Protein backbone atom coordinates (compact mmCIF):
# COMPACT_ATOMS: atom_id res chain seq x y z
CA UNK A 1 0.00 0.00 0.00
CA UNK A 2 1.35 3.41 -1.02
CA UNK A 3 0.19 6.74 0.42
CA UNK A 4 0.22 10.04 -1.47
CA UNK A 5 -0.61 13.45 -0.08
CA UNK A 6 -1.78 16.79 -1.44
CA UNK A 7 -1.37 19.97 0.62
CA UNK A 8 -3.55 23.02 0.10
CA UNK A 9 -4.49 26.09 2.09
CA UNK A 10 -7.49 28.37 2.25
CA UNK A 11 -8.68 31.37 4.21
CA UNK A 12 -12.16 31.38 5.69
CA UNK A 13 -14.20 33.00 8.44
CA UNK A 14 -16.54 31.34 10.89
CA UNK A 15 -18.22 31.74 14.24
CA UNK A 16 -18.90 29.05 16.81
CA UNK A 17 -22.26 29.70 18.44
CA UNK A 18 -25.06 27.61 19.91
CA UNK A 19 -28.46 29.32 19.75
CA UNK A 20 -29.68 27.21 22.69
CA UNK A 21 -27.22 28.99 24.98
CA UNK A 22 -26.97 32.57 26.17
CA UNK A 23 -24.06 34.81 25.17
CA UNK A 24 -22.17 34.15 28.42
CA UNK A 25 -22.30 30.37 27.90
CA UNK A 26 -21.22 30.70 24.27
CA UNK A 27 -18.31 32.90 25.36
CA UNK A 28 -17.31 30.43 28.10
CA UNK A 29 -17.43 27.38 25.79
CA UNK A 30 -16.19 28.87 22.50
CA UNK A 31 -14.10 31.82 23.72
CA UNK A 32 -13.06 34.26 21.02
CA UNK A 33 -14.42 31.86 18.42
CA UNK A 34 -17.89 33.10 19.42
CA UNK A 35 -17.16 36.67 18.27
CA UNK A 36 -20.47 37.99 16.93
CA UNK A 37 -18.72 39.42 13.87
CA UNK A 38 -16.93 36.14 13.08
CA UNK A 39 -13.18 35.55 12.89
CA UNK A 40 -10.86 34.02 10.32
CA UNK A 41 -8.20 31.37 9.92
CA UNK A 42 -5.56 30.46 7.38
CA UNK A 43 -6.41 26.77 7.19
CA UNK A 44 -3.92 24.13 6.04
CA UNK A 45 -5.48 21.06 4.44
CA UNK A 46 -3.73 17.77 3.76
CA UNK A 47 -5.52 15.07 1.78
CA UNK A 48 -3.92 11.62 1.96
CA UNK A 49 -4.90 8.92 -0.53
CA UNK A 50 -3.82 5.30 -0.53
CA UNK A 51 -3.79 2.44 -2.97
CA UNK A 52 -1.71 0.08 -5.01
CA UNK A 53 0.56 1.28 -7.77
CA UNK A 54 -0.99 1.00 -11.20
CA UNK A 55 1.54 -0.97 -13.27
CA UNK A 56 0.64 0.99 -16.42
CA UNK A 57 1.10 4.48 -14.93
CA UNK A 58 3.31 3.94 -11.90
CA UNK A 59 0.79 6.01 -9.89
CA UNK A 60 -1.52 5.27 -7.01
CA UNK A 61 -3.41 8.24 -8.43
CA UNK A 62 -2.15 11.01 -10.63
CA UNK A 63 -1.31 13.87 -8.25
CA UNK A 64 -2.49 16.35 -10.86
CA UNK A 65 -5.94 14.73 -10.73
CA UNK A 66 -5.91 14.83 -6.93
CA UNK A 67 -4.98 18.51 -7.03
CA UNK A 68 -7.84 19.25 -9.42
CA UNK A 69 -10.38 17.35 -7.30
CA UNK A 70 -9.35 19.04 -4.05
CA UNK A 71 -9.29 22.49 -5.60
CA UNK A 72 -12.54 22.20 -7.55
CA UNK A 73 -14.65 20.53 -4.89
CA UNK A 74 -13.20 22.03 -1.70
CA UNK A 75 -10.71 24.90 -1.99
CA UNK A 76 -12.52 26.92 -4.65
CA UNK A 77 -15.76 26.48 -2.70
CA UNK A 78 -14.53 27.61 0.75
CA UNK A 79 -11.61 29.97 0.09
CA UNK A 80 -12.28 33.52 1.29
CA UNK A 81 -15.81 32.60 2.35
CA UNK A 82 -17.81 32.67 5.57
CA UNK A 83 -18.34 29.03 6.54
CA UNK A 84 -21.49 29.90 8.52
CA UNK A 85 -23.16 31.90 5.76
CA UNK A 86 -21.76 31.05 2.34
CA UNK A 87 -21.21 27.28 2.22
CA UNK A 88 -24.20 25.06 1.42
CA UNK A 89 -22.69 21.87 2.83
CA UNK A 90 -22.14 23.61 6.18
CA UNK A 91 -25.71 24.93 6.48
CA UNK A 92 -27.09 24.27 9.94
CA UNK A 93 -23.82 22.76 11.18
CA UNK A 94 -21.38 24.05 13.77
CA UNK A 95 -18.29 25.01 11.71
CA UNK A 96 -15.69 23.42 13.98
CA UNK A 97 -12.56 22.05 12.39
CA UNK A 98 -13.84 18.56 13.22
CA UNK A 99 -17.08 19.03 11.30
CA UNK A 100 -15.32 20.81 8.42
CA UNK A 101 -12.89 17.87 8.08
CA UNK A 102 -15.80 15.41 8.19
CA UNK A 103 -17.66 17.31 5.45
CA UNK A 104 -14.54 17.45 3.29
CA UNK A 105 -14.31 13.67 3.62
CA UNK A 106 -17.91 13.27 2.45
CA UNK A 107 -17.12 15.34 -0.62
CA UNK A 108 -13.72 13.90 -1.52
CA UNK A 109 -14.01 10.17 -0.76
CA UNK A 110 -16.32 9.34 -3.68
CA UNK A 111 -14.33 11.58 -6.06
CA UNK A 112 -11.05 9.84 -5.18
CA UNK A 113 -12.71 6.42 -5.56
CA UNK A 114 -13.54 7.28 -9.18
CA UNK A 115 -9.79 7.13 -9.82
CA UNK A 116 -9.37 3.71 -8.22
CA UNK A 117 -7.80 5.02 -5.02
CA UNK A 118 -9.06 5.33 -1.45
CA UNK A 119 -9.18 8.44 0.70
CA UNK A 120 -7.10 7.65 3.78
CA UNK A 121 -6.98 10.84 5.84
CA UNK A 122 -8.13 14.43 5.96
CA UNK A 123 -5.90 16.63 8.09
CA UNK A 124 -7.08 20.16 8.76
CA UNK A 125 -5.00 22.68 10.70
CA UNK A 126 -6.89 25.70 11.96
CA UNK A 127 -3.66 27.04 13.49
CA UNK A 128 -0.14 25.68 13.72
CA UNK A 129 -1.07 24.08 17.04
CA UNK A 130 -4.69 22.99 16.46
CA UNK A 131 -4.85 20.10 14.00
CA UNK A 132 -7.70 17.71 13.24
CA UNK A 133 -7.25 14.30 11.59
CA UNK A 134 -10.16 12.31 10.22
CA UNK A 135 -9.88 8.78 8.82
CA UNK A 136 -13.47 8.21 7.75
CA UNK A 137 -14.29 6.07 10.76
Question: In the chain, what are the domain boundaries?
Answer: 2-134
Task: Supply the pLDDT for residue 34.
Answer: 95
Q: For 15-45, how does the pLDDT look when each residue is reduced to its tens digit (9 = 90+)?
A: 999 999 999 999 999 999 999 999 999 999 9
pLDDT-based confidence at residue 86 (cuts at 50, 70, 90): very high
Kindly report the pTM of this predicted structure: 0.95
Q: Which CATH number among 3.30.479.10, 1.10.10.10, 3.20.20.210, 2.60.40.10 corresponds to the domain 2-134?
A: 3.30.479.10
Q: Is there a catalytic annotation at residue 80?
A: yes
Find the mean pLDDT for residues 99-108. Answer: 99
Q: Is 94 helix (H, G, I), strand (E, B) or coil?
A: coil
Task: Supply the pLDDT for residue 96.
Answer: 98
Task: Supply the pLDDT for residue 44.
Answer: 99
User: Of the residues 14, 33, 103, 120, which is catalytic?
Assistant: 33
Q: Is there a catalytic annotation at residue 126?
A: yes
Q: Are 44 and 89 in contact (CB under 8 A)?
A: no
Q: Is there a catalytic annotation at residue 9?
A: no
User: Of the residues 39, 72, 80, 133, which is catalytic?
Assistant: 80
CA dihedral 22, 25, 28, 33 (to 10 degrees): -50
Amino acid sequence: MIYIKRKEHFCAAHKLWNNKWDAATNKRIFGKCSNENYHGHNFELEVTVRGEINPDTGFVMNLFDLKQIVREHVIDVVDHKNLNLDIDFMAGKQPTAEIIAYEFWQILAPKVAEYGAELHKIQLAETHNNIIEYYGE
